[in-house]
Amino acid sequence: MKDLVREIDNIKNPFTPFPNFTIEVKCNDWHQEWIDDVKTSVEILKDSLYQFEFEFELWNKKDSENISIEFAQFRWKYAFNPPTQTKIGTNNHPMLPVANGNDEENKNVFHIGELFKELDGKDKEGKELFNKYLRNKDLNGIGKIKGSFYVFNQNSDLLNMNFGGQINAVKAYIKDNCGIKIYRDNIRVYNYGEPYDDWLNLDYDKIQRAGDHFGKKVTIGYVELDLENSLKGLVEKTNREGFIDNAEYKKFSLLVKEAFSFFEREASSDKDKIEEFIEGTRPVKKVGFGETITELQEKIKEKNLEKELTPLLTKVDKDYTQMRDIMVNSGMAGLNLGVAFHEVDREMKFINADLNASKVDIDNIKNRVKNLIQILESLSPLLRQNKSSASSALNVIELAKQRNNNRFNFHKVIFSSPTLTGENPNFNFKAPIGLLISALNNLIDNAIYWTTAKRDLVGENYKPALFIGTDVNTFGTPAIIIADNGDGFAVEPEYLTQPFKTKRVGGMGLGLYFADLVMNMLGGKLIFPDNADLEIPKAYSGACIALVFPKQN
């Protein structure tokens, strides 16, 4: 009887309420209690662990001369809904209000990074046309998009806390309804969201990095489109099996996928809390592995277990150090070689274009060849075995500057280093220079990305700028300071030194992680000081990082 009630309830669309349409199942005896206990689809979704609603729509500012180039509106709502028995706090982000008039704070914009880089292409002069923020014109042929995602954790203990004796029925409901469906004017577009369909590749992402993504099997959701505004761009196939794979559909699917990724990033810390609850572990503030080993050694000494455990602990420390060094050497080389080869490829294309021009500018070609030589020369430390050697802050900053000069020019980023001009003191150290330059390159890459993203947001009057200097007093030991004039970190910086944690669209989430590993390997540390506590120009009020070196003998 309960199964029959559930089947009848599933006739309704749980995502869009119809106030004039209700279903009632009545029983004229004591079996009515069974029926009343059945969880409806709406109630099941309401009790899902993670919930996310979003909307993309045109933002028509009052005094805009060209509506198409204005930023589109992104509004979202997030809810983390753990069972009360877990004693984990809820987390709710209310839906932002609709932006009216000339809201200059840009709270409702959506950062998409290089999501549409290939689709938008370049103009006749070779300038890239994409913007790192969603614009009204990106919704041409698509119109307003709205949707909701509901994600469950199928751990039996958690399900039992929310659904009691209906676990099997709830699991069956999730299995039968998982996936992201598409509706247009409340009419289902097939075959999106069918059991065999995974148009957002959620399960593929889950396989790639299991701990960081929600799989299709635990996700129920929908996307709603407006027929009038999407009819010309999102064209259904003649066999009624989805949309034609045109530019509008590609933008639409990329955009919905990025909304889902935004949801995953927002839920990341809450997901960690659930995993800690299930595994019975308590959250531990991130510390270096060396500090963890030291704490364990002290506890072993207190318990008089040195004889039994110290040799094992020493081996763990040794094996970890060896593994870390191998990973850092190979990993940093891979990360930086990828960026470097991209630079080499771009310079070669520019040189080729210059040579094919009707009037060849030999001086310009010479400069480009010099840039190419500098890039190739800067690769040599990455390809050598990274043994420690004597060097200085001045030398490392100079090499990093040479490596990135071409990028500073291409992205129009102002570079400043008082260390190179003699205004900041130099200091010497012994370290694997290739790894150190690689770590610095990753921090520079982040600064270039986020400062140019800010320019896309606020306009050409803003000039992206990067500062690299030294500080020999503040931290007790000398440090290299990297600061920019962007918007700073959107989350706790220590969160970003964990692997695969990033707010950068399409980013790997490894740059700060590897830089942190390198500094730990050197016996130093990577920290996030307050800009105001350092003697750096006030203009550099964005992200600030200090690479603090160990005391040198």
Task: Report the DSSP pairing between strands 479-484 and 465-471.
Answer: antiparallel
* pLDDT tens digits, one per residue of 177-234: 899 999 999 888 989 998 889 999 998 888 766 567 899 999 999 999 999 999 999 9
pLDDT at 395: 94
Of residues 486, 488, 502, the one with CA closest to residue 530:
488
Coil, strand or helix at 253: helix
Name the amino acid, one letter, at 419: T
Lowest mean pLDDT among 33-37, 243-247, 397-401: 33-37
Of residues 395, 344, 397, the one with CA closest to residue 373:
344
Q: Does pLDDT of 56 surpass 70?
A: yes
Of residues 355, 310, 285, 346, the one with CA closest to residue 497:
285
> Domains of the chain, with CATH numbers?
1-38 (no CATH), 39-278 (no CATH), 289-548 (3.30.565.10)
Q: Does pLDDT of 478 surpass 80?
A: yes
Q: Does pLDDT of 243 surpass 60?
A: yes
Whole-angstrom Cα distance, residue 189 to residue 388?
A: 61
Q: What is the mean pLDDT of residues 131-139?
A: 93
Q: Which residues contact 84 (CB under 8 A, 6 or more apart)?
A: 161
Q: Does pLDDT of 103 surpass 60?
A: no
Q: Does pLDDT of 31 surpass 90?
A: no
Q: What is the mean pLDDT of residues 26-37?
A: 59
Q: Does pLDDT of 102 surpass 60?
A: no
How confident is residue 316, by pLDDT bands cut at 50, 70 and 90? low
Q: Does pLDDT of 21 surpass 70?
A: no
pLDDT at 363: 73
The tokens for 310 are 């110290």
How confident is residue 67, by pLDDT bands cut at 50, 70 and 90? low
The tokens for 138 are 């990106």
Q: Give the burial class of 256: count Cβ atoms within 10 A of its Cβ; 0-12 exposed, 13-18 middle, 19 or more buried.
A: buried
547 or 349, which is more confident:
547
Q: Does pLDDT of 386 surpass 70?
A: no
Q: What percent of the chain has pLDDT over 90?
A: 41
Q: Which residues contact 168 (CB under 8 A, 6 or more apart)?
A: none
How confident is residue 552, by pLDDT bands cut at 50, 70 and 90? confident
Whole-angstrom Cα distance, residue 423 to residue 481?
A: 14
DSSP state of 428: E
Q: What is the mean pLDDT of residues 425-443?
A: 89
Q: How far is the first Cα of the chain from the last one, in angstroms, to the nearest whole number?
A: 80
Cα-flanking dihedrals φ and ψ of residue 499, to 5°? Answer: -65, 140
How confident is residue 383, by pLDDT bands cut at 50, 70 and 90? very low
pLDDT at 34: 54
Q: Does pLDDT of 287 surpass 50?
A: no
Average pLDDT, the chain: 80
- Whether 302 contacts 481, CB under 8 Å: no
Whole-angstrom Cα distance, residue 425 to residue 421?
A: 10
Encode burial over 346-376: b for 16+ CB neighbours within 10 A, e otherwise: bbeebbeebeeeeeeeeeeeeebeebbebbe
386 or 493, which is more confident:
493
Of residues 461, 452, 460, 477, the one with CA closest to residue 542:
452
**CA-based torsion, 278, 279, 280, 281: positive or negative:** negative
229 or 348, which is more confident:
229
How confident is residue 79, by pLDDT bands cut at 50, 70 and 90? very high
Helices 306-356 and 289-302 meet at what angle, rounded to 10? 180
Q: Which of 31-40, 84-93, 312-321, 349-358 is most confident?
A: 84-93
Give the gyration radius of the chain's Cα atoms.
28
pLDDT at 284: 45
Q: Does pLDDT of 142 surpass 60?
A: yes
DSSP state of 549: P
Q: What is the mean pLDDT of residues 61-81?
A: 78
How confident is residue 331, by pLDDT bands cut at 50, 70 and 90? low
DSSP state of 111: B
Lowest mean pLDDT among 220-229, 231-240, 509-518: 509-518
Its pTM stands at: 0.72
